[in-house]
Structure 1
Amino acid sequence: MAADDSTSIPLTAMGCRWILDLTHLPVAAVKEMRRRWSRCEELDADPATIALDEDRVPVVPVPAHRFGELQESDRHPPSPPVFVPYDDHRLHALPYDLSRALTRRGITRLTGRALLLHAAALTDAAGRAVVLVAPSGTGKSTASATLGRHLGYVTDESVVITWVGGEARLAPYPKPPSLIPTRMGEAPTAQDKDERSPDDLGLAPTHPDPVVAAMVTLARSDEADEPRLVEVDLLDQLQDLLPETSSVFALPDGLEQLARAATRSGPPLRLEYREIGDCLGLLRSLLQERERPAPEWVHLPPRPGERLPPSSESGASWDEWPLTAGAVVRRLPWTDAIAHEGRVLVLLHHQPVLLAGLGELVWTQTGTPRSVGELEALAVAAFGEHPESARLVHDAVASLAARGLVVVDPEQGEGV
């Protein structure tokens, strides 16, 4: 660690290199801010720490009245600084604003390069990590601060996963946990979040090179008498995980990576609990268990020319004209897809669409253009005779077309 009076501090956080520039901070605040980020400073000096982006991006707290001036002077450098304005009268809000700004830039730097989740992570002594996924404001930081006294603290909000030799390696981000303080007679808000050093909170050491051993979604409930791990269907788990990811659509195989991460310990799991402190033994056991067989799935990535371009709009027009048996249906570009036990989860940019029954059949069968008559025959072969099979297939085609998953050739599909 550099001298205590340094105001230029190298950090590694989220797998990215940074320089925390405290030049513009009041002298009394420099030492406290540096202590908050001391673990990221230590990671920077550890050769075992994973680094995905070696560019040193400055993170600079600045007085609010100088924000515009400094931002204008650094408009086009190779690595634009992250300027974080603060008000002298609200200096207590700066730690949260700074970590939020660094996190946002980190997500931008890693988009399309790593699997990013809004999640907490903790490790055993060997660096085997459990990832805890939950929506914002539902207890990830509390879980980190509570369980992190006994399990190694990795991050309380942003998990970065990259694959090395088949292992899901995690880039640590031991920022000061964002905790909402309890003040007598006040209703605290997210803007009041208190960020203290992990060391001041008594959190266990951060492993420099964690490997994901398990991933669970969190479900707090007052009805949960005892904490328990519940097995969840793979596609249902992916639907719960996707809103807690950042830019998974920018990865060429984002759904596949997410499925692999979600099944590191075997079947996908949901942790149901009343008090997070009661879950320590359960999570320790999970990290010590031998890996169980994971569910099987089929990855259905788009072939060259089939991938939905990032700038395009998903969704096709549908005029609701009647379909003839000769109308030709073909699949439209998509981002990624996974099939599992008779259902398929299709990703259109950031929007997941879960298909089952006739919807799944029509989508999977129209990679090669097919007539409506062919689809009706395939439906009968798969599901048996039905007096309204033609109408049901027509409805399925119309539904997929309205959601931008297939298109009907208008020249062959108009009229009856």
Structure 2
Amino acid sequence: MSHQTDPALLDALDALTVTAIGCRVVVGLVGLDAGQRADLATSWAWCEPVLERRPRSECDAVAVLRGDGDDDAPAGADSDAHADASALVVADALDQLTETVTTVVTQLAIDQRRDDLLLLHAGGVADPVTGAVVAYVAPSGHGKTTASRALGRTLGYVTDETVAVDDDGLVVRYPKPLSVRGPAAPGASRPKAQVSPDAAGLRRAPDGPLTLARVVLLDRDPAATEVTVGPIGLAEAAARLFPQISYLGARARPLRRLQALLERTGGLLVVRYAEATTLEPAVRELLAVSAPAATPGGEGPGEATFGLDAHRASPGAPGPTHGGGVLVATAVDDWVADAGSVVVLHRDSLRTLSGIGVAVWHAARAGRTLDESVAAVVREHGLPGDGPEAVARARELVLAAVAELVAAGLVRQR
């Protein structure tokens, strides 16, 4: 690498500054000529791009395009000279560099907004008049950008990557370049082209506030003969959304915030379809319902109370006894109840408890003994059969549930 293109030796860099999820992100550019820098800025045209010289210390990231014969990473890339840049991007080809710049800008913005926004890995479009937004969630490579290209021609393009929403249901727009994968030879891959919304023929979202109206999961099925939309419960919704939310556990009571958002937007829906070009009527129908009024943010729903005496009594249930050791619930990040199940977030792991596991976990939260927990389970679910052996069988089932909860790190015995 020649010293002329080594960012570690430069006091100032050509830089691109863009707005991403409400943050200004500065990327130093090394090895790009004026035309390449202008093309990069054009692809970010809807994110308030500015090309200018910036001190290297003000760059959130530095992107280096290596020239022919530059086989090594920039000198100083791993030295203290780069300590003031939070990310270094080095690429041999321009399309590879522009794709990585998009990824880095998005991640830097997510890092900055992790404490105050719910960050869904989703595309989004808005009603051009009301500003109501449908967020469509999917893993990478499962149709978000394709859906955005199809829907954004008549509805307002919000983003193809990250739908960011606050506790009041307001969406922070991020109309980044669309990351479009072109054709490649079998078994090969190629960088995604970064296509400006203008070049894709998309429509701008309205200038006013954008409000989240619906959250859907994209489920592309080539065999589908029509577009179908159906709801799923909170427990399944949390499990399916969890991998698609950035830094969910970074905020207080994250599951209850998610629960409140889903309740405000009518619950999570699954949209099954064959081709993105068929989605518009279903999305317009979802948007036709008035956007829910934003509600003030707060600490979320109050914690549910639990009392053993409140459980349904079953004939023949043994009364509380003392012994068998005390069960103690481990402190968790958050939990919510849903139709007989409990969803628990603990150390960045999401678990759904059901059946007798719910009663055992609540008993552990109340500091009950093992025998008291057995009695609580029997009162809630009844005995597993008749006769004296049924009581012994109930205890075996509770012991098995306790073992699972202990293995999951949710309960301990003392």
Quick check: TM above 0.5?
Answer: yes
TM superposition shift of 1:357: 1.2
Rounded Cα–Cα distance in structure 1 between residues aligned with 2:80 and 2:131 = 43
**Structure 1: tracts of 5 or more residues without a match:** 1-5, 44-54, 303-323, 410-416
Q: Are the counterparts in 2 of residues 301 and 336 from structure 1 also a CA contact under 8 Å?
A: no
* Aligned position for 1:365: 363
TM superposition shift of 1:104: 2.0
TM superposition shift of 1:186: 5.0
- Give a deviation string over 1:346-367, Cα, whole Å, max 9, x none: 0112211110111011112222
* Aligned position for 2:151: 147
What is the Cα-based RMSD across aligned positions, in Å?
2.8
The structure that has the greater radius of gyration is 2
Q: Are the counterparts in 2 of residues 18 and 56 from structure 1 also a CA contact under 8 Å?
A: no
The match for 1:108 among 103, 107, 111 is 111
* Aligned position for 1:213: 213
* Aligned position for 1:97: 100
* Aligned position for 1:312: none
Give matches, 1:15-26, under 5 Å.
15-22=22-29, 24-26=31-33
TM superposition shift of 1:408: 0.5
TM superposition shift of 1:193: 1.1
- Give a deviation string over 1:3-32, Cα, whole Å, max 9, x none: xxx954432102211234446421220111
Question: Alpha carbons of 1:182 and 1:75: their partners in 2 closer, same or farther (altered >3 Å)?
Answer: closer
* Aligned position for 2:280: 280
1:63 aligns with 2:68: no
* Aligned position for 1:27: 34
TM superposition shift of 1:108: 2.3
* Aligned position for 2:252: 252
* Aligned position for 1:121: 124
Give matches, 1:282-297, under 5 Å.
282-290=282-290
Question: Alpha carbons of 1:292 and 1:161: their partners in 2 closer, same or farther (altered >3 Å)?
Answer: closer
TM superposition shift of 1:228: 1.5
**Structure 2: tracts of 5 or more residues without a match:** 1-12, 51-56, 67-71, 294-299, 306-321, 385-389
Question: Alpha carbons of 1:234 and 1:140: their partners in 2 closer, same or farther (altered >3 Å)?
Answer: same
Q: Are the counterparts in 1 of residues 89 and 101 from structure 2 also a CA contact under 8 Å?
A: yes
Rounded Cα–Cα distance in structure 2 between residues aligned with 1:354 and 1:300 = 17
Question: Alpha carbons of 1:57 and 1:336: their partners in 2 closer, same or farther (altered >3 Å)?
Answer: farther
TM superposition shift of 1:151: 1.2
Q: Secondary structure of the residue that 2:352 maps to in structure 1?
A: strand
The match for 1:401 among 396, 403, 406 is 406
TM superposition shift of 1:72: 3.8
1:176 aligns with 2:180: no
* Aligned position for 1:344: 342
Rounded Cα–Cα distance in structure 2 between residues aligned with 1:249 and 1:299 = 18
TM superposition shift of 1:138: 0.7
- Give a deviation string over 1:148-183, Cα, whole Å, max 9, x none: 1111111111222222xxx21222221111111025
Question: Alpha carbons of 1:292 and 1:12: their partners in 2 closer, same or farther (altered >3 Å)?
Answer: closer
Q: Are the counterparts in 1 of residues 178 and 197 from structure 2 also a CA contact under 8 Å?
A: yes
* Aligned position for 2:161: 157
Bigger shift: residues 130-139 or 261-270: 261-270
Q: Are the counterparts in 2 of residues 82 and 102 from structure 1 also a CA contact under 8 Å?
A: no
- Number of corresponding residues: 361
AA partner of residue 83 (structure 1): L
TM superposition shift of 1:292: 8.4
- Give a deviation string over 1:115-164, Cα, whole Å, max 9, x none: 1221111111132111000111111111111111111111111222222x
Rounded Cα–Cα distance in structure 2 between residues aligned with 1:119 and 1:235 = 20
Rounded Cα–Cα distance in structure 1 between residues aligned with 2:203 and 2:137 = 20
Question: Alpha carbons of 1:111 and 1:57: their partners in 2 closer, same or farther (altered >3 Å)?
Answer: farther
Rounded Cα–Cα distance in structure 2 between residues aligned with 1:224 and 1:110 = 37
Bigger shift: residues 260-269 or 387-396: 260-269
Question: Alpha carbons of 1:352 and 1:58: their partners in 2 closer, same or farther (altered >3 Å)?
Answer: closer
After TM superposition, the score normalised by the length of structure 2 is 0.80
Give matches, 1:201-350, under 5 Å.
201-207=200-206, 209-290=209-290, 300=303, 325-350=323-348
The percentage of aligned residue pairs carrying the same residue is: 30
